[in-house]
Amino acid sequence: MEYKLLIEKAAEARNFAYTPYSHFKVGAALLAKNGKVFTGCNVENATYTPTVCAERTAFFKAVSEGVKDFEAIAIVGGKEGQLAPFCAPCGVCRQVMAEFCDVSNFKLVLGTPEHFEVYLLRDVLPFAFTPKDLE
């Protein structure tokens, strides 16, 4: 799948973000190696800490449906009513990506549908602690 289409799907998923507290809306579209796309948005909570990021929503949707091999994730975000030029994933989400993805191959498509850049997970999570470290 073309990454432009993937980031468009992330922008679409962002419309479902539940953000009554931060008003910061994030959308993600996770491309599995089998070609399936799992979308996600952030879901906030009145007690704050149960909040889940868009990226983890997408990962957990996929894993909970038996899919664990991934190629790329597109992420868009910004304050309600506007899309920021760039929205990087938080550290916790990077760690979740490292659980399932090879840091040297998994790609992050960041930016907007109009202008995006592609990064490797290892670029944004150097010296990752991964399941291999527990072998």
Decide if residue 24 touches ligand THU (CB under 6 A): yes
- Which one of 7, 26, 29, 83 is in contact with ligand THU (CB under 6 A)? 26
Decide if residue 96 touches ligand THU (CB under 6 A): no
Decide if residue 97 touches ligand THU (CB under 6 A): no
80 classed as catalytic: no
The pair of structure tokens assigned to 127 is 């010296």
Task: Report how far residue 57's alpha carbon sits from residue 60's, in angstroms, rounded to the nearest whole number.
Answer: 5
Q: What is the DSSP string of the chain?
A: --HHHHHHHHHHHHTT-B-TTT-EEEEEEEEETTS-EEEEE-B--TTSTT-B-HHHHHHHHHHTTT---EEEEEEEEEETT---S--PPPHHHHHHHHHHS-TTT-EEEEE-SSSEEEEEHHHHSTT---GGGG-
The CB-of-33 to ligand THU minimum distance in angstroms stands at 23
- Which one of 1, 12, 32, 44 is in contact with ligand THU (CB under 6 A)? 44
Decide if residue 19 touches ligand THU (CB under 6 A): yes
The CB-of-48 to ligand THU minimum distance in angstroms stands at 9
Closer residue to ligand THU in complex, CB, 28/37: 28
Catalytic: which of 2, 44, 55, 80?
55
Catalytic residue ranges: 55
Interface with ligand THU (CB under 6 A):
19, 22, 24, 26, 42, 44, 51, 53-55, 89-90, 93
